[in-house]
Structure formats: structure tokens, C-alpha cells
Amino acid sequence: MTLSLQVKNLTVYYQTLKGPIRALEAATFDVADGEIMGLAGESGCGKTTLGRSLIHLTPPMKYIHGSVRLDDEEPPIWDTERMNEFRFKKISIIPQYAMNAMNPTRRIGKMTEELLRSRKVDFRTLLPEIKRRLALVELRDDVLDLYPIELSGGMKQRMVMVLSTLLNPSLLIADEITSALDVSSQKAVAEMLVEFRDRGCCTSAIVITHDISILYQIADSILIMYAGQLAEKGTTETIIHAPRHPYTKLLISSLPKVGVKHSEKRLAGIPGSPPMLLHPPQGCRFRERCPVAFEKCLEEPPFVEIESNHSVACWKESYPNAQA
Amino acid sequence: MLRLDGVSKVYKVGTFGGKRLEAVSHVSFQVNEGEVVSLIGESGSGKSTIGKMILRLLPITSGTIYFDDVDIATLKGSALKEYYRRVQGVFQDPFSSYNPIFKADRIFRVIREEFFPAVPLAAWEDKVGKSLKAVGLNPDQVLDKFPHQLSGGQLQRFLIARALLLDVRFLVADEIISMLDASTRIDVLNLLADLKSRGLSILFITHDLSLAHYISERAIILYRGCIAEMGLTEKIFNYPLHPYTKMLMASVPRLDKKWENGKTPLPAKPPGLTGGCVYYERCPAGIEACTHARPPLLEIEKDHRVACIRYRTE
């Protein structure tokens, strides 16, 4: 299995007048060729920061340290100018605001042409492929003659999906692409993303979402983040059915499943709220909400592989004396 | 307790208001005392419009809404104020429900000035404290703060506490969970369930089917302003009859079951035809007869109604 993306110790802070907000701390993970990795967590956990760091790291975001390896290259993510060679060609993103991502003053076809010209690609030679992909997302060819305002939200979302993957990037970052959609469109868009991967429109993908049940449907592996740090990574089945980190366990058990009724089984949330990342607490950041925290948790737990393809940042799992 | 009788809402759209858009079409249902009814629909199905009409934030085009057998459209002056004492709403985005330049607890002061001018301050503060505790907040931690200093879940519970200060008997909860994180949304949902057991009736407007199933006894499935199916939650979720409900149930992302393969039909463009079934353009089982007339909402079994032509003769 070849690795498409390797991220090592990536740390990114937000620069503010009060001091650095430690939004992403020492992220280390890899994504294999053809893998769809889900990235999940609550709002403010750093999942969007991680996604954006890989493609467009701009102030107030500040690169602290860490390295990224994509195929055989090392994209200089700290250098916005030099990243231009990678952006769109090698790494592409479907942003969270995809509904407003298109230039409202240009017809979509014209805009696509300009976009491709900026990467020195000829629109005409690519046109048959564009049409094939439009058909794939069930859009008609004539959307190219329309202005973005003439499309519905779901159609814009699908159009941006086609645009983002036109140059077959190695890595596609999809940030909350299904959250604003209705259940039926949600399923359609999620399935289209898988089909894009299957057809090689992108080699591998990171799907950022807060909705774990969507990831269970489409992702090969899931990475759970909490308060700027990685909590757990494993295959989808492992994370959903056999999670080891207390946060993952609580998060998954708090999701209402179809068929569960309040009168029969009362679900519980996670008491407390995530820490402020301006001055994050010492040690494990989940410590204060964790039902199984003990003295060792005052030290920061390392993100270690406890079994093949399953890593956890929790002392209960990695500290030998903790199990007893 | 609350009854909608053939309620419709027509918006005038287009540059000069020349076109008509029927957002809600002849909707009738009833919410009983201490009952949670879910109103489920996609965006544009008219679910929020129904909520706003109940709260009298929008005028009704035709039909009547009764609260305790009184037509709410006739309420004026002090009677209307009495109505708002009993019927309140909480909306989707907690951040935009507050004025960011004032402290968040101003909403309680406004309630006192409007509805309880005679209550002395000490007694009032005691009442606010109790109401905050009822929604699971610690008054010392949340009072005297600006909205940006509180989390979305806290602000949302603030708004529910505000409704509880009044002798509220009916709550319109319009997508109140969707902006909250997974770890806090279940707390707000449990809170609603607790309030229900104390006799409050709730109209729970949502697009999330698993949340609706978790909390409600009865559910109403709306599609383009029309009721497609309504009845006991169990029946709708376990034995959906309408093709639209079936499609919805198959599309819900679940943790215990993967999606079945097969293309999901995407929403079609706004319907060209006006007379027939509103779901005809997306329906896999549509037949020619569907285009003639809108199917009536018929009771197929006890507490289970469906509007689909295929269930007409049985």
C-alpha cells in the first residue's frame, strides 16, 4: 500500500493579539492511495484548520513546525507563493462555503476557462472531460452557460465538486460538503464523492465533517480530533464499533440512531465543554470531561499505534500500568 | 390543544409579485397536551412557514389555526399577549436570536418588563434562577455575560429558559438542534423530553429523522407544502407507505447499517404541473393518474395517514 499523504508533527497556531491560539498541535497521520479518510470532531476542534493548512495557510494562521509529504514531493505549505504549483493540480479543496465559491459575475463556463488558463490548461481540450464529469454529478452541459445564481444550492455544490477535481488532484479535501444539504441530496453527494475516487478524479480524499454517520457510509478510515489534537485514528469499522479513546466512545454513544426512542433509552451527552485553546490545559485536553481520567493524564498522552492501523492518544491505552 | 385546519400559505414571488408560490397547502393536524409532534421535511417543504404561522409571525392565506378552540387570527391586544404567554418559539440559530451589544440575560429583563411588571425584583431573580436550573444551566456561570461568551448550546438553553418563564404550554422548536455539536445536542433534546413529561406540548421542526424518532410520539412528513404521511412515529419509521418517506428512510445515514446501493434520485426542478401529486416528478412509482388530482390524505390504519394514489382503494 503506497502512501499518498504523510503528515508529521504538523502544528499550526492562530496569531491573535492575546497570544497564539493552539488550534492544531502535532498532527501525525497518513492517508493511503485511494483512501477516503474522514476527519471528525466538534466545532473548534481544529479539523478545518488541518484541512486548510494542507492547501492554503494564510494569516492569521501561522505555521509552527511539521512536514507534509505528498506522493514524492514535499509541498512547502508554509510558503503561500510556492504552494501555487500544488494547489488545484496536486491538492484541491471543496471549501465549506462551496455554495458561494463561484464568481457571481461570470458564466460558469467562462469562469472555468479562466480558472484553467491560470494553470495553463486549455479549456477546449478538457471540455469533453468536463462534460463527462458534469454527467456524473447529474448536471446538464448547459450549466456552463448559466450564472451561479441560477443554480440551486445542491447544484452549486456539485458544480464546485467537478471544478475542484478537474485536474485529478492527488489529494482532495472536502470540507463539510454535505452539512447544508437535505438527507436525499446528502446521500447523492456522498455517493458521488466515492464515485469520483473510484474513477480516479482524485487519488485520495480527506472528508471533514461533524456528522460521523455520513463517514460510516463512505469513509475507509476515520480520524477523530479533540481540541486541536488527534484523539484516535483507525478504520471506519474500528472507530464506530470498537473505539478506544473515551472521547470517541462518548461521542458515538451520544448519537441518536434511528430506532432509538427517548422513552426507551435515554442517551447522554458529554458534560462540560471543550477547553479554550488560547491557554489549553496541561496534559490531556480531554481530561476535565473524561470519566476515566487519572493522575497520569496531567502529562500529555502520545498518539501511539496500539494495534495495526489503530492509533490512540490516551494514557489508559498506552501506559502499561493504567489497565489494572 | 393546537389544531390546524386546512391551512395554506401563498407567497407572492417574482419581480412585481405577480407569481404565486404555495409554500403550505391545505395542512391539517393537531397537537395534544403533553405531546411532541415532529414536523419533518427538506428545505423548502414549508415546515418553518407552519411554525411561523402558529407564532403569528406570518399571516395565514387560508384556513384556520385554533389554540384551545380559539381562532388565533382573531386575537388582538391583551388577548394576543395572553397567547404569547402560552405559545412561544425557539429558532435555529441561537447567535442571531440575541442582540450582540447587550448582555444575553437582557432577554429575561424584557420578559419581566413586558409580562410581569408587578413581580418584585428579588422574586423575579429567584424565578429566573429556577428556570435556568430547569434547563440545566448554572445561573452563576451564565448570567451577566455577552452572547459571544456563551456557547451555542448555552444560548439555546437560555432561549428555552426564557420561554419557561412564561406559563408556556406550547413550544415551537424550529431546528433548534441543528447548529449544536453532537456532544451537546443530546442534552438539549433530553431537556425537551423532560419538559414534555411536565405537560408541555412541542412542535419539533426538523430535517433530521433520527432526532425526530428519538423524541416524538407522532410525526408529520411534509413535501412541498403538502403532508405526505403522518401518524405514530413507530408506524412511519418502521412501515413507511409513501414513496417519499421510503426514500427518506433509505437515505438517512445510520451507524448500524450501510446505505444500499442504487442511485438516489436528486430533487427535481420546481414542479411544472399544478393539479397532480407534488411528488410525481421524483416518484419512482408514479403513474399517469398521479398527474390528474392531488391524492387525499387517507387513514390507512389507525393513527397512520398517507397521501398517495396507490393507497386509495384499500
pLDDT of residue A67: 93
pLDDT band at A320 (very low <50, low <70, confident <90, very high): low
Assigned CATH class of A3-81+209-322: alpha beta
Asked if residue A152 has pLDDT above 70, the reply is yes
State whether residue A182 sits within 8 Å of chain B by CB. yes
State whether residue B256 sits within 8 Å of chain A by CB. yes
Q: What burial letters (b/e) apply to A57-73, b meaning 16+ CB within 10 Å?
A: beeebbbeebebebbee
CB atoms A184 and B187 under 8 Å:
no
What CATH number did the domain enclosing B231 receive? Answer: 3.40.50.300
State whether residue A1 sits within 8 Å of chain B by CB. no
State whether residue A120 sits within 8 Å of chain B by CB. no
* SS3 (DSSP) at B210: helix
Give the residue from chain B lying closest to A195, CA to CA. B263
CB atoms B182 and A254 under 8 Å:
yes
Q: Give the start-to-end residue ranges of the domains of chain A.
A: 3-81+209-322
Asked if residue B274 has pLDDT above 80, the reply is no
CB atoms A269 and B209 under 8 Å:
no
The pTM assigned to this predicted structure is: 0.85
Q: How many domains is chain B partitioned into structurally?
A: 1
State whether residue A253 sits within 8 Å of chain B by CB. no
pLDDT of residue A248: 94
Whether the CA torsion B171, B175, B176, B182 is positive or negative: it is: positive
pLDDT of residue A106: 92
Q: Counting beta carbons within 10 angstroms of the beta carbon of residue A1, is it exposed (0 to 12), middle (13 to 18) or buried (19 or more)?
A: exposed
For the segment A12-53, what is each residue's pLDDT rounded down to a tens digit? 999 988 889 999 999 999 999 999 999 998 888 888 899 999
pLDDT of residue B3: 94
Size of interface A-B (CB pairs under 8 A): 123
Arithmetic mean of pLDDT, B56-84: 93
The sheet carrying B218-223 orders its strands as B87-90, B170-174, B201-206, B36-40, B218-223, B226-232, B304-306, B298-301
DSSP annotation of B8 = E
Arithmetic mean of pLDDT, A298-324: 84
Q: Which cell is B118 given?
A: 408587578
What percent of chain A is predicted at pLDDT more than 90? Answer: 60
CB atoms B215 and A262 under 8 Å:
yes
For the segment B160-196, what is each residue's pLDDT rounded down to a tens digit? 889 888 889 999 999 888 777 777 788 888 888 888 9
Asked if residue A324 has pLDDT above 50, the reply is no
CB contacts of B190 in chain A (<8 Å) are 262, 266-269
- By residue range, what is the domain housing residue B110? 2-311
Arithmetic mean of pLDDT, B41-48: 86
For the segment A49-68, what is each residue's pLDDT rounded down to a tens digit? 999 999 988 888 999 999 99
Which residue is associated with the grid cell 467537478? A162
β-pairing, B304-306 vs B226-232, is: antiparallel
Asked if residue A267 has pLDDT above 90, the reply is no
State whether residue A183 sits within 8 Å of chain B by CB. yes
CB atoms A216 and B258 under 8 Å:
yes
pLDDT band at B312 (very low <50, low <70, confident <90, very high): low
For the segment B85-135, what is each residue's pLDDT rounded down to a tens digit? 999 999 888 888 899 999 988 999 999 998 999 999 999 999 999 888 888
Q: With a threshold of 0.85, tell me whether the complex ipTM lies above it.
A: no
Prior bond to A275 cis, omega within 30? no
Asked if residue A195 has pLDDT above 80, the reply is yes
DSSP annotation of A266 = -
pLDDT band at A4 (very low <50, low <70, confident <90, very high): confident
